[in-house]
Amino acid sequence: QLLAEARNVDEVMNLRDQARMMREYARIANDPQLEIDAATLRVYAERRLGEMLIAGKESGQISPGQPKKNASSGEGFSRVTLEKQGISHKLSHRAQKRAAFAPKAFDTLVNTMRARMKQGERISFDKVVKETSMQKARAAHEKKTYEGGRVDDLQRLAADGHKFGAIYADPAWKFESWG
């Protein structure tokens, strides 16, 4: 609720920082449910931050990452920089990546993270995203290689007696005795 009401970057950053501190406290107090809730709040806060950063870039309120080489000295002072807002480049990148997810897909990934944390696994949202994308890539690869392309398939073809033309080169090796 507080995230939805947050109107500026400072409020979102404050909520994110509180969530990070809350997670550390929960870890020390050995309260897994609070730790899960704090991790979830932090992920949603970073997503909200990413939405704000994207909107700020599109409206021209946030300056691009690198200043122009031939810009005049007075140019660009009216824009906000990430550094002035206390946002690192890594956080900006991570937040904008999270904001790029469709809401339903994002919620699914968050729920996956929460479920795995409830099982006692120490996992980050980024690791869930990476594992999910790897599973999708594996599934796509499996679909492409449904028939053929694996060693098992070649062994099965050879056992069935299939023969294929091939060019096999075995040039003579120059052999010298060293003794």
The pLDDT averaged over each successive group of 10 residues in the chain (179 residues) is: 74 89 92 93 92 85 64 54 80 91 94 94 92 91 68 79 79 76
The whole-chain average pLDDT of the chain stands at: 83
Determine if the pTM surpasses 0.75: no
pLDDT in the model for residue 10: 82
Sign of CA dihedral 89, 92, 96, 98: positive
From 49, 60, 43, 56, select the one nearest 125 (Cα to Cα).
Answer: 43
pLDDT in the model for residue 76: 46
Q: Which two tokens stand for residue 52?
A: 């704000």
pLDDT in the model for residue 43: 94
pLDDT in the model for residue 74: 52
